[in-house]
Amino acid sequence: MKRVLITGGTVFVSRFAATWFAENGYEVFVLNRGNHLQPENTTLIKADRHQLGDRLKHLSFDAVLDITAYDAQDVHDLLNALGPFDDYILISSSAVYPENLSQPFVETQPVGPNTIWGKYGTDKIAAEQELLKSVPNAYILRPPYLYGPMQNLYREPFVFDCAVQGRPFYIPKDGKMPLQFFHVEDLCRFIHLILQNHPSDHIFNVGNRETVDINTFVKLCYEAANCPLSVQHVFSHPNQRDYFPFHNYSYVLDTTRQNKLLVQQKDLLQGLKESFLWYQSHPEDAPKRGYLAFIDQNFQ
């Protein structure tokens, strides 16, 4: 039984990962401040990652899954506190690629500032660099939009709300902007494959092979909720983030490296059905934003 340390464990990706690895034969330790309900069948290390002292020095791990590192200090403090470990996997972000690079983005392209993602992207770059400075054989994963059960962002849940309320959906412009997704279970499966196979590549774009445009994504969300769809296209309003949960930013990741290991991926419609069922019974997981109020005030 492999022993893994997962940072977080209480919100979306880290919560799903802790549950998934525990259910798939791993001994799971979660590191968080103990302020939320903990995943079942895991061992809590109740601490702030910036104030660990010697809490981890006596423990050894087959892998550290660092899901909640957002900047270099996060990585630095955890590394300084760890005892022995074999593998370190950092969940970074596709926000590390400057938007002016040729697409699809590949792992060999240089990272740099991205004006859409701003500080979030540059902090993720710093986290990657801090890790590789100390653990050059670490693995770094760069996902696009993650989705699935336990979602804590009001993305697909917003579309579900529109669907179940019988609302038309307001789509930016012609709706042909591509979006790339990755189901949180596929992320866990890929991490599992890395730990099994130890591939020679150490930086991976992760995501679905195929992108979908906004039109298709909205259609699939309504289908997942088993609701009829009517659409209104918005051409005049300048800021789509006022009424739509994704930036006006089109990017595509090349996932060739990933696909050599992760041969099968979850169908997007099936994944959205799983996300919808979770959201129906856990509506508090994804706090609502003001999209509906804006739509009612400006588009009705």
CA 115, CA 120: separation in Å to the nearest integer? 10
pLDDT of residue 116: 96
Q: What are phi and psi of 38, to 5 degrees?
A: -90, 150
CA 182, CA 300: separation in Å to the nearest integer? 33
Question: What does the pLDDT profile of the chain (300 residues) look like in tens digits?
Answer: 899 999 999 999 999 999 999 999 999 999 999 999 999 999 999 999 999 999 999 999 999 999 999 999 999 999 999 999 999 999 999 999 999 999 999 999 999 999 999 999 999 999 999 999 999 999 999 999 999 999 999 999 999 999 999 999 999 999 999 999 999 999 999 999 999 999 999 999 999 999 999 999 999 999 999 999 999 999 999 999 999 999 999 999 999 999 999 999 999 999 999 999 999 999 999 999 999 999 999 997
Phi/psi zone of residue 12: left (φ > 0), alpha (ψ -120 to 50 degrees), beta? left
For residue 3, the SS3 value is strand
Give the closest residue to 185 by CA, choosing from 3, 19, 10: 19
Place of tokens 């660092």: 66
CA 116, CA 110: separation in Å to the nearest integer? 17
Domains in the chain (CATH in brackets) are 3-147+182-205 (3.40.50.720), 156-180+210-250+267-298 (3.90.25.10)
CA 198, CA 230: separation in Å to the nearest integer? 47
Q: Are strands 27-32 and 43-46 parallel, antiparallel or unpaired?
A: parallel
Q: What is the pLDDT of residues 83-115, one digit of tens each?
A: 999 999 999 999 999 999 999 999 999 999 999
Q: What is the pLDDT of residues 217-245, one digit of tens each?
A: 999 999 999 999 999 999 999 999 999 99
CA 24, CA 234: separation in Å to the nearest integer? 45
Q: Give the DSSP letter string of 38-107.
A: PPTT-EEEES-TTS-TTTTTT--EEEEEE-S--SHHHHHHHHHH--SEEEEEEE--GGGS-TTS-SSB-T
Residue 99, judged by CB atoms within 10 A of its CB (0-12, 13-18, 19+), counts as middle
Looking at residue 273, its amino acid is K
Whether the model clears a pTM of 0.95, i.e. scores above it, the answer is yes
pLDDT of residue 300: 74
CA 31, CA 29: separation in Å to the nearest integer? 7
